[in-house]
Amino acid sequence: MVKSISNKFSSKKTPVEVFVDDLVEQLTDLENKCMICGKMGFTMDRYLDVIFYLWVKEKEFQDLFNSKKGFCLKHFRQLLEGTKKYLNSRYLPAFIDNLLKMQLENLERIQKEVNWFTEKFDYRNVDAPWGNSKDAVPRSIQKIVGYSNLK
């Protein structure tokens, strides 16, 4: 404890360091108050509201939703968070069960495809078919972080 107190006194910041620290703090505050990010967050919240509404009310939408190949981890998290706000206890178990099943099945599928992609570089597999693994690496990145400028 004495050492940490003495370090505070001995580590005097130069005016430039103080300026940089203050500027970084102000920029961080601005990032957290970004109008565009706020608008996008509000819009995404409305999308989640519509997704949950349709999932509960429309069997056709529920079947379509459940037939998809999962979501990037960001949107998967947002869907899980949205269940607390938009689903009541009657629909929550079925939605979570379907969402987790969909996500895990498709993460396992992509993992197998990435594994096969790497095995294709083994001389013993040179003549084996690629299957769906040729673009498995960018698809696995997409599954983790969402769409980005991979191309």
Model confidence pLDDT, tens digit, residues 43-98:
999 999 999 999 999 999 999 999 998 888 888 999 999 999 999 989 999 999 99
Percent of the chain with pLDDT over 70: 87
Q: For residue 1, name the pLDDT band (cuts at 50, 70, 90).
A: very low
The whole-angstrom separation of Cα 81 and Cα 62 is 18
pTM: 0.66
Query: In sequence order, what are the residues at sequence separation of 6 or more whose Cβ sits closer than 8 angstroms to the Cβ of residue 144?
Result: 72, 73
Asked if residue 38 has pLDDT above 70, the reply is: yes
Q: What is the pLDDT of residue 67?
A: 92
